[in-house]
Chain A
Amino acid sequence: MGRTDLHPLCAAGTLSLKQNAIAVGNRVALRKGRIHEVAGAGADVFAAIAAAEQDQGILWIGLYRDIVSLCPTGLQAYLGIEELIIVEAVSRGELLWAADQALRAEGGFCVILEMPDVLSLKESRRLQLAAEQGGGAGAHLAAWQRGDFGGANTLGLRSSSRGYTHLGMDLREGQKR
């Protein structure tokens, strides 16, 4: 099974994905030292698949309402639950601080950050710098609203009705590093 590296500078057409779709079970890796914005209905499972590929500890950071609905008996198909640490924050500030600490930490942790709204350019750049320092990869699970994202990639993941195992994927134009 092939591995698809989502390089920050590659355009959607250059990805070796058939019809811009990722089959669940494909190996999809996020570039390390970067934070990626992942949006859409398929964002959760995409983040889980990509995080498992990092072969590092995984932190899932979110507010209570997001964290409480995570179901490890479903996620176990995509990532090692024993590698997963869940961090429950109570405010936007705590979410950003925890993500910053986790991305900055030695060991290159993979951080999945569930934000209640979009990141500003300043916030996403600070997380990007933290990821560069720590060497980990970050996936910011975002709403569909357009924000000034200062990370590497903006990926839009939508569930496909063609089967149980496909995610449609759009790379947003005008990506920023």
Chain B
Amino acid sequence: MPRILSIWLPQLPLDRLTRHGDARLSGPFAIISEEKNAWRLTHANDQALKAGTVAGQALADARAICPDLLTESSDPVREDLLLRALWRWADGLSPRVSLDPPDGLLLDISGCAHLFGGEAAMGQETLTRLKDLQVQAQIGIADTKGGARALARFGAQDVSIAAPGEVAYALSELPVAALGLPHAIVSELARAGLTTIGQLREQKSAELARRFGLHLTKALQTATGLTPDPVTPKAADPTYAARMTLPEPIGFLEDLENVLGRLANRICQRLEGDQRGARRFHLTVRCVDTGDHGLSIGFARPCLDPEAILRQFSHPLSKLEIEYGTDWFRLVAEHIEPIRLKQGSFGEDAKRADQRLILIETLGNRLGFDHVRVFRARDHHVPEHEFGQVEAAGITPSWSFTPRPRPIRLFTPPEFIHVETPGRPPLNFKWRRLSYATDRAHGPERITPRWYREEDPRTRDYWRVQTDQGRRLWLLNYPGDEDEAWYVAGELA
């Protein structure tokens, strides 16, 4: 029979700040989040709880009760990062660990507990280790995931254990909310007088399903072990990182590049072994006087070439201001992707593609990858929506020919012209402070707008106009408009 250990981290957002040494936690402090246009407390520390605030309370009410209350909005991304770090840490307890987001972990401890001296000892050891990490936790151990989770969250002790085969009995006194049911179902059950899991089990499952839905009976059956619900472990993503601490600070660019070269070599060897590459690298340089400095570079394709990493870091490193030296470095590979190893630069096309990507990387790392773009065709009839621009990095160049003749310069919004001699199109006009006379004109090309979008609803008429002065302009007006205004929408070749 499997044995599952559930770790519940009730104060994870607060623990994250505690681990960072946030001084605000010495007084009343709470984490808040916006729910239905109102800020509410999600987690409060002991001082705040003692002052009378509770989780779920509106922030305005909490401030009225406790005027000294300090708050910070929740940061789900960083909390998830901490949870994932703990997920990797839990590998030391069991080889089969899965995430139970947003604030829990599930471990399959079948065959592991005796290594710690039994389940109770393992639970206590886990709590102790987490306490050392400044993370508060509660633990439940049972035959099923649902049972362990319920005991961790609603158990009377820090480590609650349901003996093998007795999970149903252990859960019977717990409230129905322990099954992880939606709030609406819990309320409905309460109205029907069913408040504990034991009361639910006394009901016929067919009746429960008919009245409250299959979700309830499924949760009940998996929690009590009638339906199998195994832990699906997933190995934590490997971290490709290397760090180096030096006995003496260094400051010369050549020395920095040497250190970076060694770090890059170590990471790239690991990446190559796993047939992976990274699209981003982040280097942290800790200066003895000014603290940590972060430098990042990106690549247009997954990279595992130390020389390329050095080449792209050379500019940000040269900009780094180091006065008293630096003695700690950490290089992390991010955005890991699998690569298919191929012979490099074989054939002219491959060579050209390589050179193109190297140039995109060089430009992107200095100007920003969003400033190095390519055109993408769109299937649309409105001139300004016939194409778009996308980042060039990681994009296979492609373009589908559009049949309609268009100007090589398109002005969005179109530029107003001053009509001197009216006509259709105008015979004489001024544009950008220069006078033009129409020699020949073709048109109109009538384009109707996208009525299903909230955009300018006017029909457009475009004219191709050859001016006496030589310039070929794409004139635009809106037929039916009261002011009969004309615009230059583009310049033709």
Contact = CB atoms under 8 A, between A and B. Distances in A.
Interface in B387-401: 387, 389, 392, 397-399, 401
A158 B470 contact: yes
Interface stretch (A101-109, A124-132, A169-177): A101-109
B471 A41 contact: yes
A109 B359 CA distance: 10
Number of chain A interface residues as a range: 35 or more
Interface stretch (B157-165, B408-416, B418-426): B408-416
Contacts of B493: 24, 44-45, 48, 74, 77-78, 164
Given A44-B409, A94-B367, A106 B374 contact: no
Nearest to B403: A73
Given A57-B356, A72-B375, A84-B375, A45 B367 contact: no
Contacts of A86: 372-375, 389
B353 to A, nearest CB: 9
B409 A70 contact: yes
Contacts of A94: 366-367
B367 A98 contact: yes
Contact of A81 (B352, B399, B409): B399
B367 A44 contact: no
A144 interface: no
Contact of B397 (A59, A82, A101, A168): A82
Nearest to A89: B367
A121 interface: no
Given A71-B406, A73-B406, A85 B355 contact: no
A53 to B, nearest CB: 16
Interface string B344-367: 000000011001101110110011
Interface in A59-93: 59, 68-78, 80-90
Contact of A107 (B355, B389, B404): B355
Nearest to A85: B392
Contacts of A105: 355, 358-359, 362
Contacts of A24: 493
Given A76-B401, A97-B366, A107-B355, A85 B372 contact: yes
B360 to A, nearest CB: 7
B442 to A, nearest CB: 10
A160 interface: yes
B409 A88 contact: no
B256 to A, nearest CB: 22
Contact of B409 (A74, A77, A89, A109): A74
Contacts of B377: 72-73, 81
Contacts of B356: 57, 85, 107
A159 interface: yes
A91 B472 CA distance: 30
A145 interface: no
Given A73-B387, A87-B363, A89-B367, A161 B410 contact: no
Instruction: Please name the 5 residue pairs, one residue from A and one from B, whose CB atoms are nearest each other, closest first.
Output: A107-B355, A159-B470, A71-B410, A74-B408, A81-B399
